[in-house]
Amino acid sequence: MKFKPNQTRTYDGEGFKKRAACLCFKNDREEEVLLVSSSRHPDQWIVPGGGMEPEEEPCGAAVREVFEEAGVKGKLGRLLGVFEQNQDRKHRTYVYVLTVTETLEAWEDSVNIGRKREWFTVDEAIKVLQHHKPDHAEYLKRLHLSCSPTNGNSLLPSQPSNDNFPRYGPPSTGSVLGPSRR
């Protein structure tokens, strides 16, 4: 299991742990996404991401986490949304899109904890994540909705929240899937 002795957990004013993650794609077509093995369950795949450090911006945390966990660098793209997970722990995760431009042979988590990475089609990744990380599968489902020009959905909320980021939560937590009305 991954252990960071100097890690400080940061929380927002509503008691949510502040997290950041990236959907890492091979190219701008966003057809293949990179997943990494979980530090707790090495036989399961997750979207790379983690806790924000004090005074760290969400975009900087997302890029740092991807570098540490997946060993990739790239061009940071749009903020896909802010996702709230309330079932097990209160997490609020800023999820960005990143186009990979550099892949390291060995990286921090591959050396320290044996983390692996693998490319999946978006549909395959949703299936793999749905069983043990349904909140991560929601990131990719939102990607499909935000990219479809004919479905009438927009990435921007019709009524913006206080920080102007769209918020999403899984339906099972009581949150409405889609922008929150904070």
Catalytic center residues: 68
Q: Decide if 49 contacts 133 (C-beta within 8 A).
A: no
Q: Which two tokens stand for residue 111?
A: 């050396």
Supply the DSSP string of 64-104, one letter for each residue: HHHHHHH-EEEEEEEEEEEEEE-SSS-EEEEEEEEEEEEE-
Q: Decide if 170 contacts 177 (C-beta within 8 A).
A: yes
Name which of 53, 56, 55, 67 is nearest 22 in CA terms: 67
| Crossing angle of the two packed helices 122-132 and 134-147, in degrees rounded to 10 | 150
Handedness of CA 72, 18, 130, 152 (dihedral sign): negative
